[in-house]
Structure 1
Amino acid sequence: MSTAQTAQYRLSALKIELAPQEPFTVLAIANTGNVPLDFKVRVQQWQQRATGEDELHLLPANSLELVAFPNLLHLPVGGRAEIRLGHRLPAADVERTYRLLVAEIPPAPQGIGSETRLVTVHSLPVFIKPAVIRRQGQLLNAQVQQGTLQMTVSNRGNVHIEADQITVRGLAENGQRLFELRPQREYVLAGVTRPLMPMPLPQDQCAAVRTLQIVLDIAAHPPTTQIERPTGVCR
């Protein structure tokens, strides 16, 4: 009978941002488990459709657009390694977006009765900032149905928006704050208008909610929308 293991390792970052004046960085990876690990590193171009779906295309191994080195890593138990990431691209008007794939290479089977191991792939967003940053966005089509909030974000700036930059507050009749929460992290790339995943609302005081206030905190005067007397806050 075979048993299953899951490798344990830690990355020093879950998002990477580069700039024209800071074109290089280092991502550290540490093996915190009790088995040796091997990884393959690749870079993908990343775009989004209006429906919110990602479009990903692997860069050729010899591409100099965005370079990750080394492409193969071996980490003994307790070992640590660094992935160097950099570009030589000129400053652009719009943020360039990529995904860094750090994929565990499954170990070779050792024969009947050997242990099997679940392998993982991390897909880290990589952003190359433009020379001048313009943050501009709008909240659209916010509505509540069956205990969930649905909304669309229109990114009219030249850098990405993160969904957890949105604050949702449930307010009572007298303005008392009943709850405050943020959506799970999603990305809306520059120039894209896309719906976010439906967001469950707290149910313990749902009947007392008289206003839903939604703030997109990306500027000094953040875009704000309110749903008055919302129906459907309670499931």
Structure 2
Amino acid sequence: MKTSKFWRLFTFCVSGILLIVGMASAVAQIAQYRFSALKIELLPQVPFGVLAIANTGSVPLDFKVRVQHWQQRETGEDELHLLPPNSLELVAFPNLLHLPVGGRAEIRIRHRFPAPEVERTYRLLVAEILPAPQGPSSETRLVTVHSLPVFIKPAVIRRQGQLLNAQVQQGTLQMTLRNQGNVHIEADQIKVRGLAQNGQRLFEVRPQREYVLAGVTRPLMPMPLPQDQCAAVRTLQIVLDVVANPPATQVEQPTGVCR
């Protein structure tokens, strides 16, 4: 099913934004709101959840809610298809919200399928609806559509992944993640440690969050490494921390990881 022109325009928006601020002129009214969660996970025994939105700004707000089916290609790109409004695959209700100043509303989410063998994945789109312009001098606000991941867990969860092709180029770590389990992996579950010649840990950092869905192998976004002690780094130890006692990948850097 093809997405409408309106929704195609916004599906590129970054997931997991907790706060969006829309501003007008120098004495602008400010639209502020907060979500109660950055992702929704539904369990077989609890097939429903709630996402709350609180209006913390100075103007009333209206939102439209839609659901997308979410998959990933082997090349890493997301593949998104809007579910029809009458679909019972994953229900988000209500699909229109009005929040007065200081108000709070809840979106109730429910699925109607038996527990899957492999995690089902969706995106919940929450878009602010702008009020109609009141004239040529009307204020303009910047708005964004939020794309929040929704995961329907299998009855039996298997977490398994493998890091491939890890290498450092000009101070940046590049690597590929293969998800061999039946649930998603988040890139910030990876620990990257910089070790000195004597094994001393100089830093430990994590990539920014991005998702690799079950059965997918995809390159992660390049990760800049800390530069303050880069010349002393001789080994990068990379751990995918999704199972007990995970194996570590080693990248030897005899001359450090500086640019």
What pairs up with 1:178-193 in 2 under 5 angstroms? 178-193=202-217
* Cα 1:226–1:6 shift into 2, 3 Å: farther
- State how far apart, in whole Å, the 1-side matches of 2:174 and 2:182 are: 24
Change (3 A) 1:90 1:34: same
Which residue of 6, 22, 25 maps to 2:49? Answer: 25
Quick one: distance in 2 between partners of 1:124 and 1:57? Answer: 14
1:131 is aligned to 155
Contact 1:212 1:230 in 2 (8 A): no
Query: Deviation digits for residues 100-151 of structure 1, max 9, x if unmatched?
Result: 0011011211101111111111110000001110001000000000010000
Query: Is 2:224 the partner of 1:200?
Result: yes
Aligned match of 2:68:
44
CA 1:71–1:21 in 2, change beyond 3 Å: closer, same or farther?
A: same
> CA RMSD for the aligned pairs?
1.2
CA distance in 2, matches of 1:114, 1:200: 43
Residues 113 and 187 (structure 1), Cα distance of their counterparts in 2 relative to 1, 3 Å cut: same
Aligned mate of 1:71, from 89, 95, 110? 95
Partner of 1:212: 236
Residue pair 1:144, 1:231 contacting (<8 A) in 2 also: no
Q: Please tell me whether residue 171 in structure 1 is matched to residue 190 in structure 2.
A: no
TM-score (norm 1): 0.97
Native 8 Å contact 2:174 2:221 kept in 1: yes
**Corresponding residue of 2:123:** 99
Distance 1:145 1:122 in 2: 33
Q: CA offset at residue 5 of structure 1?
A: 5.6
Q: Quick one: structure 1 residues 5 and 152, their matched pair in 2 at CA, closer, same or farther if it must change by over 3 Å?
A: farther
The equivalences for 1:155-166 within 5 A come to 155-166=179-190
Pair 38,209 (structure 1): closer, same or farther in 2 beyond 3 Å: same
Cα separation, partners in 2 of 1:6 and 1:122, compared to 1, 3 Å: farther
In the alignment, what sits opposite 2:258? 234
Give the letter for the 1:20 counterpart.
Answer: P
Instruction: Provide runs of 4+ in structure 1 moved above 4 Å.
Output: none
Looking at structure 1, the residues matched to 115 and 235 of structure 2 have their Cα atoms a distance apart, in angstroms, of 43
Count of aligned positions: 234
Preserved contact between residue 233 and residue 256 of structure 2 (Cα < 8 Å): no
Distance 1:134 1:210 in 2: 34
* Superposition deviation, residue 50 in structure 1: 1.3
Give the Cα–Cα distance (whole angstroms) in 1 for the partners of residues 149 and 159 of structure 2.
18
Q: Return the offset for 1:223.
A: 3.2
Quick one: structure 1 residues 198 and 5, their matched pair in 2 at CA, closer, same or farther if it must change by over 3 Å?
farther
Query: Aligned to 1:9, what secondary structure does the other structure show?
Result: strand
* Corresponding residue of 1:154: 178
Gaps of 5+ in 2: 1-23
